[in-house]
Structure formats: C-alpha cells, structure tokens
Amino acid sequence: MSNPDVIVIGSGFGGSVPAARLAEAGFKVIVLERGPWRDTVPVRSMGIDKRAPLPRGAQLFTKLLRGVGGNRVPGNRIALSKHGLFELFLGKGATIACSSGVGGGSHVYSAVNIRPLAPNFWEGHAPGISDGAMSEHYDAVLERMGSTTPMADHRIPNTSAVRWKGSDAIEPALPPPDPRIGYLLPDDPDKPQKVVDEFGIERWEVDYKANEDGFLGSPTGSKATLDAVYLGPAMKRAGLIVRDMAEVVRIMRQGDGARYRVEFVDHHTGDRTSLTANHVIVAAGTINTLRILLKSRADGGLAGMPQLGKRFGTNGDYFAYWDYNDPNVEQSVGLPTTGGVRLKGDMESPMIGGGGLPAVDKYPLPRFIRNRMKKAYMIAGLGEDKLCGEVTLVKGKLKIEYDPDQSPIFAKLKGIFAEISKRTGHKIYGPKTPITVHPIGGACLGESAATGVIDANGEVFDNPGLYVTDGSALPRSPGGPPSMTIGAWADHVAASFIARHRPQ
C-alpha cells in the first residue's frame, strides 16, 4: 500500500468528519481505528464482512467493555475484549466512559445534536476563530447527520413534556436553541420503514416500542452513526480506506520521506506495523489522544507541546440513578433521552435530562429483573466546568487528576438532585466521583504554544503536519452535549486543510 496523504487516527466525530471530507476533496486518506466494524444493518449493506456484535443477549457482558484504565486501576490498564463497546478510565476525581469501534461515540451516544450552551463559546481563543466563523461548520455537520427537530407529529412516546405534565415537583425544561436529534424518525410510528441512500446504504426508521437503538448501539441504523453517514459514502465515492482493529501506539517524526511514522498494532493479525504520511490527524477521543501524544513525546517522536494534558475537564457531567419505579410508566420505550427536565419554576437550571435503559428485553436476565429495569431512569445533569484537570504520563502510566470541587456545577447539580428526591419522594443515587461521557480538553486550541497545543487550523504548535480534531481540542467546556461542537471543529480543520493543500 503506498503512503497516504493523510492518516486519521480514530473514527468518532473528530475522525470521521475530516476523513470523509478530505477523501471527498481528492486526498488519499487512511483511517486507523482500534475497534471493529459493528454488526448493524447499514454496515452489512456496505458489504463489510468482518463485523463484531453489539453487546446483546449472551454477549451483553463479553462485548460490553473493551477495558478499564487510569490511575485507580491496578497496573494502569486492564484489557478485557478487543471487541468491547466501552472503555472506562478511573481517574482521580473523575470516572470517564468512552467507546470503541468504527464510528466511535456515535454508536453509543443519545444523539442529542445541539450547539454549545456556554455563551460566546468560540470567542477569544485564537485569531480567526469565532462563533460566526464556526456557524457554517455546525450547519454542515447537522445536515450530513440528518439531524431532525422533534415535533409533536413524530409522536415520540415518553417525552418529558408528556411525562411530567401535571407534576407539582418538576416540569419539562425549555429546549435549547435549535434542538435536534440524530435519529431517522418515522412518518408512521406503527410502521417504521427501511431507507436506502444513493450508495445503497440501508437504515431503518426508529421503532419506539423496541427501543433497540440506544446506549448499546444501533443495530437497525435508525441512529445516525458516523460509519453510515460519513465513512461509508466516502469509501464508496472517494476511495477512503478504513482499517478497523488498528490501534495506534505512537507517532514518530522522521527525517526522511514522509514527515510522520504512525506505529500501530493490527489486532486482526497481532502484528505491530506502521504507515507514514506528511499529515496526521489525531482523533482517538480525548483520553486516548492525550495518551498517544504524551507517549509519542516521551519516546522522542514529537517535540514541545508544553500545554499538553493541561486544561482537561468533564463538561460538568453528573450521572445518577433515579429510583422512580412508577408502576404505570415503562421507561424503556421511546428514545434514549426523553428531553430536559427542571425543578418547577427553576429558570436558572442547568441542562438535566435522562431516560430509560435500552433494549432491556435483550438482557440475559430473569424476567422479574428485566421488568424492574424497565422502570429504571438514568438522570444526568451537565454544565460548564472549569477544565481544571490534568492528564500526564508518569513512567509510562496514564494519570488523570481532576477536582470536581473546583467547578460549582457539581454542587449545584447535587443540590438539585437532592431537591428532586425530596419533592418527588423517589431517591436519586449519585456516585461520589462524577462519571463523565464528555471528556474535554488537554490538547486545547490556543494563540500560541504558551496558551494551547493547537492553532486556529488545528495544527499542533512545534509539530507541523500534526492536527487534533477530537474532544481534546476544545478550549472550553460547551456545557451541553459536545459531539456537534467536536464535529464542527473537525469540519473547520478539514476545510482549512483543503484550502491550504488542495490536491493538484
């Protein structure tokens, strides 16, 4: 295989967006993704032979976790299954969940597609970057994801607007500006239809009753996953190459030929191998991107980056279990997120939402436990945090240090959850260490190497031709679900790359 123009590491929002855009602009692009293709309707219709099952039935536990890592884990990293859907990091002050597989976090996310809730999010970080300049990139990502504004006509069951109507304690929260979701919503909820795109990629409209397509992946493709909407079309029309089960270990700058050598383990064969290119986009998800960059620097492959690992945060996430157990409500029907809620009249409330557990009937558990689980409700709040954490590599071991007490959002959410428990009489159980599914920062956008790791083009100061496009690049916590912001940043980096290096 000849050298590509660009190697993209990781295939989540930060990876799939520039990989597809650059391939479609005529560059030779290879994506290296450590996880497998998932066994879903769209991936089958793309003709991909080697697919790994989503965690369901007997495979629920064997395919759930890829591994557990971080400073609270003996030995720093325990590998469980190369086909596992989630990876957990137990850091000091934060537990972090991320995912693995072609398409990254789009398989497991709830598909809430919104712009930052933090006001003036893009202002003041680097020359040329502003809310106005970034707007077209949000539009581009929202359009390609097919994100839809949910309306009454869609007849989505179990929404908070219906659920909390008449409650004395809580009420549905006003939706944020331009709220959208990344699902194919059915014209007729009783008869979901199959939809086929111009490349023959198949997806089904969502079946609210089955609630199959939530946190454990979307077998029917009703959730817009990046493999189906970005990678598949770019493979078909532009020759994008995606190598699954290819786990990058480090990036080494070299003197001869192409600028960078990217070393990876091919989990299909077990071999350690490498590819070279002049341009490398790192988008392995916040923690894994930081791990790769820190290791590459420690091994002498990359230079400088004095701010690397600094200004790491959690987007203020606080996940908890609400023991609502209402005999009349089956939570596990509808979409994974049922919409926002707030304490009655609390106009200053941060974003709080939640939903039931997906695909409960597919769990290998006795019926009475499944029935109880169908009443379970996961509640989560989020808001801007202070990005006060740091990720470092000490003697080859990843150390994540975060102090939630420095960000007032956590005390605020705990207070609100206590009040909801009191007013409804149904207790909310939250963990002592906050769990986040939105790790942010550590390779932040800045004006110079003294204030950030990457510049306004996404290029790493001190390491020309190396770019960061995932959650680690964000210079601030968006305070709401971040995937559209990550996608918009990645789209911006791709557009500026195309403008500067347009293929001849």
Ligand X SMILES: Cc1cc2nc3c(=O)[nH]c(=O)nc-3n(C[C@H](O)[C@H](O)[C@H](O)COP(=O)(O)OP(=O)(O)OC[C@H]3O[C@@H](n4cnc5c(N)ncnc54)[C@H](O)[C@@H]3O)c2cc1C
Q: Enumerate binding residues for ligand X (CB under 6 A).
A: 9-15, 32-35, 97-101, 104-105, 108-112, 215, 247-248, 283-286, 288, 292, 437-438, 470-471, 481-484, 486
Q: How far is the CB of 368 from ligand X (least distance, A)?
A: 26
Q: How far is the CB of 248 from ligand X (least distance, A)?
A: 4
Q: How far is the CB of 161 from ligand X (least distance, A)?
A: 18
Contact at 8 Å (CB) between 274 and 261? yes
Q: Which is nearer to ligand X, 345 or 389 (CB)?
A: 389
Q: How far is the CB of 330 from ligand X (least distance, A)?
A: 20
CA–CA separation, 167 and 256 (whole Å): 69
Contact at 8 Å (CB) between 156 and 334? yes
Contact at 8 Å (CB) between 126 and 455? yes
Q: How far is the CB of 353 from ligand X (least distance, A)?
A: 9
Q: Which is nearer to ligand X, 404 or 482 (CB)?
A: 482
- What separation in angstroms does the CA of 240 have from each of 22, 27, 174, 331? 9, 9, 41, 40
Q: Which is nearer to ligand X, 66 or 203 (CB)?
A: 66
Contact at 8 Å (CB) between 431 and 95? yes
Q: How far is the CB of 196 from ligand X (least distance, A)?
A: 26
Q: How far is the CB of 366 from ligand X (least distance, A)?
A: 25
Q: Which is nearer to ligand X, 83 or 154 (CB)?
A: 83
Q: Which is nearer to ligand X, 276 or 424 (CB)?
A: 276
**Which pairs count as long-range contacts for 63-70, CB under 8 Å and 24+ apart, including other chains?**
64/216, 66/35, 66/100, 69/398, 70/96, 70/398, 70/400
Q: How far is the CB of 249 from ligand X (least distance, A)?
A: 7
Q: Which is nearer to ligand X, 326 or 434 (CB)?
A: 434
Contact at 8 Å (CB) between 340 and 346? no
CA–CA separation, 176 and 119 (whole Å): 12
Q: Which is nearer to ligand X, 246 or 503 (CB)?
A: 246
Q: Which is nearer to ligand X, 24 or 33 (CB)?
A: 33
397-401 sheet: strands from edge to edge? 397-401, 389-394, 310-313, 440-442
The alpha-helical segments, DSSP class H, found in 330-444 are 367-373, 408-424
For residue 227, the SS3 value is helix
Q: What is the DSSP letter of 59?
A: G
